[in-house]
Amino acid sequence: MPGILIIAEHLNGSIARISKEIVGAASGLKEGFEGRLFVVVLSNGDARLSDEMNLEGVDEVINVNVGSDHFDSSIYEDVIIEISHKLQPSLILFGHTANGMACAAAIAARLGTGYASDIIDMQFVDGQLTATRSAHAGKIQQELVFPNKNVVTLTIRGATFRAPEVEGDASLTQQDYEGMDLGGGIEHIEYIAPSTAGVDISKADVILSIGRGIHSPDNIPRFAAIAEKLDVTLGCSRPFADAGILPKAHQVGQSGTVASTCKLYIAIGISGAVQHMYGMKHVDSIVAINIDPNAPIFDAAKYGSCADSLEVANALEALLESS
pLDDT, tens digit only, all 323 positions of the chain = 579 999 999 998 999 999 999 999 999 898 788 889 999 999 998 889 999 999 999 999 999 999 888 999 999 999 999 999 999 999 999 999 999 999 999 999 999 999 999 999 999 888 889 999 988 766 788 999 999 999 999 999 987 888 998 999 999 999 988 765 545 567 778 877 766 667 889 889 999 999 999 999 999 999 999 999 999 999 999 999 999 999 999 999 988 888 988 999 999 999 999 889 988 988 999 999 999 999 999 999 999 999 999 999 999 999 999 87
Q: What is the pLDDT, as a whole number, of residue 187?
A: 77
Residues 34 and 120: beta-carbon distance below 8 Å: no
Query: CATH 3.40.50.620 residue ranges in the chain?
Result: 3-176
Q: What are the φ/ψ torsions at residue 181 (nearest 5 degrees)?
A: -85, 115
C-alpha torsion 184→186→187→189, nearest 10: 170
CATH of region 201-322, choose from 2.40.50.140, 3.40.50.1220, 1.10.3720.10, 1.10.15.40: 3.40.50.1220
* Of 44, 176, 19, the residue nearest 99 (C-alpha): 19
Residue partners of 128: CB distance under 8 A and separation at least 6: 145
Residues of the chain with CATH 3.40.50.1220: 201-322
Q: What is the pLDDT of residue 228?
A: 95
Helices and strands, counts by H and E, the chain: 10, 16
DSSP string, 9-33: -EETTEE-HHHHHHHHHHHTTHHHH
Q: What is the pTM assigned to this prediction? A: 0.78
Is residue 187 within 8 A of residue 68, CB to CB? The reply is no
CATH of domain 3-176: 3.40.50.620
Can you give the pLDDT at residue 212? 95
> Which has the closest alpha carbon to 255: 153, 163, 173, 134?
134
Amino acid in position 316: L
